[in-house]
Amino acid sequence: MATSRTTKILSVKDQIAEQLRTDIISGAFPPNTKLNETELANRFGLSRGPIRDVILQLTKEGLLISKNNCGASVNSVLDPSMQKLMIKLRREIEVFAIEQINDTLSEQEITELEAILADLQKALDAEDYAEVTKIDISFHRYLINKAGGDELVNIWYPYVMRMRLNYKRISSSSQCVDEHSRILDALKAGDVKLASKAVKANIK
Amino acid sequence: MATSRTTKILSVKDQIAEQLRTDIISGAFPPNTKLNETELANRFGLSRGPIRDVILQLTKEGLLISKNNCGASVNSVLDPSMQKLMIKLRREIEVFAIEQINDTLSEQEITELEAILADLQKALDAEDYAEVTKIDISFHRYLINKAGGDELVNIWYPYVMRMRLNYKRISSSSQCVDEHSRILDALKAGDVKLASKAVKANIK
DNA sequence: AAATAATTTATTGTCGACAAAAAACAGCGT
DNA sequence: ACGCTGTTTTTTGTCGACAATAAATTATTT
């Protein structure tokens, strides 16, 4: 049969988390916005239980900040020194991933990565920048996951979220796809050094 | 009035999390142990709600691993390459903290850090190694928190937990306190270079 | 008897209601 | 008018019950 695209099944909580992340990163929920559990429960048509779970999760990811008995609100930007640290750490994780992957990418995997980049180009053409951000992240996540599984994704993700929260810059169209292409090309060529350089150039 | 020791108020969930972390790190819950929500709820005398929150939290910290509809179990050790990465990243965070702190420690803060080291010595003398681990961590956390607040503690903590999970070595009595004393002494002297070196030597 | 299918049991996910805490408000005195 | 105090309202934390899913057991067929 024809190779069908992997459709990922997401739990209810994951879908809500995804939606809230988008709201926050897109700026629909600016920093210091207080999240009301009941309100969110109504919005998604379920009870407060799952909502609370998601809030806890996003808090651990650094997008929200919550105090006991006082609810959660959208976190604000980091001061420059912390920002620098986060970039440095994220770069190290991604370079580590590149080194782990080295020459282990299968044809199948390369095809999937290329499909992601094609989607990225489409989103850029449509000027759907929230979608661009999501796809951008999914490209990196694919590599991180390949290298270190959920374990590595879990420690990597908070850095990405915090960086996105800090400056929601919209990378210029051509540059964005190019940067990722360079990473993939270097990986295909088995050039770890070049791939690492390309990754570092993309994380900023 | 006399300077009274800061007694920290912990939420119910934080106390349970603390207890479970101890259970896991001490080896009472070996890797792959499945955690039963109802069982835990009974043990702590409360309902499943708060327990679920704690499980989610420890999952984000990397101590537990949970699958949808299948519950959570204690995570297993990392492969060596990931282990090396984690050590490297944790060192960078702690060196960053040292650099941030530089000469900003107040008399009060130095006193508190010395009190922590005194407690550490006491726990070592009592051969209460679970307590030793906790105090060891609290020393580091104090510095991390001073440098970057909860924000930094949140990204730092998972590394500590994972490292503790990997090798539950019991540092030899004298060495443990000495290593931390060296860090504190260097900080008191305002010698960032030396303090960084001491921190790196302690993280392994 | 072994393997598969159906049934039962156990465990997690979700919900609505209540308790406790915080925030908002009103009343009082200075 | 301002600040404090007590009350009301809102919001979060907790609970027990039910629904849905996974695991275990029993029954059935080959």
Which of A85, A89, A79, A75 shows the shortest CA–CA distance to A35?
A: A75
**With 90 as the cut, is the pLDDT of residue A69 above it?**
yes
D1 C1' to A140 CA distance, Å:
60
Flag the least confident range among A52-61, B103-112, B129-138, B167-176.
B167-176
Q: Give yes or no for B96 touching A (CB within 8 A).
A: yes
**With 90 as the cut, is the pLDDT of residue B129 above it?**
no
If you count residue pairs, one on A and one on B, with CB atoms under 8 Å apart, how many are there? 62
Q: Give yes or no for B81 touching A (CB within 8 A).
A: yes
Mutate to test the interface with A, among B53, B56, B150 (most CBs of A within 10 A): B56
Q: Which pLDDT does position A128 carry in this prediction?
A: 87
In terms of CA atoms, which chain A residue is nearest residue B52? A53
Q: Give yes or no for B56 touching A (CB within 8 A).
A: yes
DSSP string covering B125-168: HTT-HHHHHHHHHHHHHHHHHHHHHHHHHHHHHHHHHHHHHH--
Q: With bands split at pLDDT 50, 70 and 90, how would you rate the model's confidence at A194?
A: very high
Which of B142, B137, B118 shows the shortest CA–CA distance to B21?
A: B137
Q: Give yes or no for A65 touching B (CB within 8 A).
A: yes
Place of tokens 């020194």: A81
Q: State chain A's mean pLDDT as an integer.
A: 93
C-alpha to C-alpha distance for B161 and B157, rounded to whole angstroms: 6
Which of A78, A89, A97, A92 shows the shortest CA–CA distance to A152?
A: A97
Q: Which pLDDT does position B43 carry in this prediction?
A: 97
Q: Which residues of A touch B155 (CB under 8 A)?
A: 62, 86, 89, 158-159
D2 C1' to A32 CA distance, Å:
29
Q: Give yes or no for B41 touching A (CB within 8 A).
A: no
Flag the least confident range among A161-170, B135-144, B178-187.
A161-170
C21 C1' to B136 CA distance, Å:
34
Residue B26, C-beta contacts closer than 8 angstroms, at least 6 positions apart: B129, B130, B133, B168
Angle at A196 between CA A193 and CA A197, to 5 degrees: 85
DSSP state of B78: P
Look at residue A64 and give its three-state secondary structure: strand
C-alpha to C-alpha distance for B137 and B144, rounded to whole angstroms: 10
Q: Which residues of A touch B152 (CB under 8 A)?
A: 82
Of B68, B85, B93, the CB nearest to A11: B68
Angle at A79 between CA B204 and CA A64, to 5 degrees: 85
Cβ(B94)–Cβ(B203) below 8 Å: yes
Q: Which residues of B touch A165 (CB under 8 A)?
A: none
pLDDT in tens, B17-60: 999 999 998 889 999 999 999 999 999 999 999 999 999 999 99
pLDDT in tens, B56-86: 999 999 999 999 999 999 999 999 999 999 9
Q: Do B82 and A148 touch (CB under 8 A)?
A: yes
Crossing angle of helices B107-125 and B129-166, rounded to 10°: 100
pLDDT in tens, A143-188: 999 999 999 999 999 999 999 988 766 666 778 999 999 999 999 9
Q: Determine if strand D comes within 7 Å of the CB of A38.
A: yes
Q: Which pLDDT does position B9 carry in this prediction?
A: 77
Chain A residues 12-41 with Cβ under 7 Å of strand C are: 12-13
Q: Determine if strand D comes within 7 Å of the CB of B10.
A: no
Which of A155, A61, A52, A135 shows the shortest CA–CA distance to B85?
A: A155
Mutate to test the interface with A, among B155, B156, B163, B165 (most CBs of A within 10 A): B155
Q: Determine if strand C comes within 7 Å of the CB of B70.
A: yes
The bases of strand C with some atom under 7 A from any protein CB are 11-17, 21-23
Q: Determine if strand D comes within 7 Å of the CB of A68.
A: yes
Percentage of chain B exceeding pLDDT 70: 94
Q: Determine if strand D comes within 7 Å of the CB of A182.
A: no
Fold for the domain defined by B80-202? Four Helix Bundle (Hemerythrin (Met), subunit A) (1.20.120)
Q: Which pLDDT does position A26 carry in this prediction?
A: 87
**With 60 as the cut, is the pLDDT of residue B5 above it?**
no
Q: Which pLDDT does position B122 carry in this prediction?
A: 94
State both tokens at B145. Answer: 């928190």
Q: Which pLDDT does position B6 carry in this prediction?
A: 58
pTM for this prediction: 0.92
Domain A12-74 classified CATH 1.10.10.10?
A: yes
Q: Which residues of B touch A60 (CB under 8 A)?
A: 57, 60-61, 154
Q: Which pLDDT does position A152 carry in this prediction?
A: 96
D6 C1' to B134 CA distance, Å:
44
Of B56, B150, B154, the CB nearest to A53: B56
Most confident of A22-26, A171-175, B164-168, B194-198: B194-198
C-alpha to C-alpha distance for B21 and B63, rounded to whole angstroms: 8
Q: Which pLDDT does position A129 carry in this prediction?
A: 86
Domain chopping of chain B, boundaries? 12-74, 80-202
Q: Point out which residues pair with A35 in neighbouring strands.
A: A72
pLDDT in tens, A82-131: 999 999 999 999 999 999 999 999 999 999 999 999 999 999 999 888 88
C-alpha to C-alpha distance for A164 and A171, rounded to whole angstroms: 12
